[in-house]
Structure 1
């Protein structure tokens, strides 16, 4: 874990492509042993998928960096695009996303949350240092469409969270030019996804049908519902704030068509979050009372944080 944190810091503090590449390589070589900490067939398969995809993208990135160093070649649009492609593979942006749901399905919830949050920082930083091209816009639209539609026919919650992550990546790519904005987005998204993964890990939930079997009390049910709605970006929950920032940023740049696509497909993601929750809410529950044990205080804290958007708005107006 220390090396994972350090490798990301190396990439963030670098001022040249080679140092950034070194940071990414150290990060990959430290994340693989973390995946393999559980000795079973699934984890070794996940480690192999991660190693192969990251190696291909690293080779592509390194080849393009060396090409730009040749003084007889002019930095062209093609080289810029291929570097973007290599970073897209690392992030799991559509159409290079197929490895991510497959890999997440074979890992534990804690490792999944790390892959969806911390592992995005270094490649996103590299993208924000590059000029945006038409390929970036194509990647944004594809990520939003794939992330929305891909999660519809899934029963595995880990795969659903992977497609949700791809969708959120599309939103982050839309503001990748502004480092402050995508870092705010990633911070809020990380807090939401980490708490969701922790709850799924705590209850050992991996599939939708397990939610109705799990005998949760009303506090936990409402807490999970609020978190899911927050992840879908529904006002007045805190998850709406980063999406609001993206919409505001794109309106200033007159990117109306992309905003329209993003909002329309955001409704589809909200639909499959609701599908997760309806199963749980409509199931027969033995414990009908609101309960406040030591674990429920964590849920109440999460509910309070997710409902803090109106307070932020009031402070902003004042």
Structure 2
């Protein structure tokens, strides 16, 4: 019934009515309990852009994945990918959610801070939050919403992606402010990827228009990147008397089987503030031995317990399994549940 109602009114008054008068417009639909949390649908990394009319394309936003729960209109919760309550850390998004004019809803999206070119800046977002484990709030953050999972008593996850997106578009139409609709881009996937790379963006997301919303990494959503970006464990650093924050280079590791393996280092991408804060955190985790085998490596490194996870941008892998042209983007929060890159055993 939900699908039939939406197909009859996509882009018309039926969809708008379902948003503004849900109880009148959809009187024969049963009420679905509102889930306390929804495990997010995750994008599977792909090397090529899928083509054809069954795929829609969006910009890949570089920030923190969030679910925004609106409960009884004025009560708003902001939940991270890892299930942590970060409502207090995104006051602007909370304020925007209270203006939606719905009784209940769950929006899926990405919190970002934009740079002067209008690009999502992960480092700026982290600085706004006070760094990893910081206590500040990101008042300047906005949410690019790309899916609608629940609306006024109805669980929308079983509906097709194109239908959920139509409802979300109408919900956000004309509102402006800190919650914005992540638009489909009217171009072929290959054209959009080329443009995104030219603009210095991270990449694009391709989504199956007819797929329901499924938690996990099932392939209905694909991510195609301009520059690779993954999470790695910091296992040590090389001190420097001239580099920012005294960090000459970080030593990084990825998961392999039940352990960790060294994948190279990174010495760029820091600011004075981020490097100084990172140095202080690393010094508090000092340990006499590295967490992985470092035979033949320089002994000038200071080793730390493998407790910090860094987001690293890089161009490629070398033939011996090391990162090439790597750059530090920031530390990942435990609440963001960023998975450490895993090398096949």
Q: TM-score, normalised by structure 2?
A: 0.30
Higher strand share: 2
Which structure has the larger Rg over C-alpha atoms? 2
Q: Which has the higher contact order (CA 8 A, sep 6+)?
A: 2
Q: TM-score, normalised by structure 1?
A: 0.31
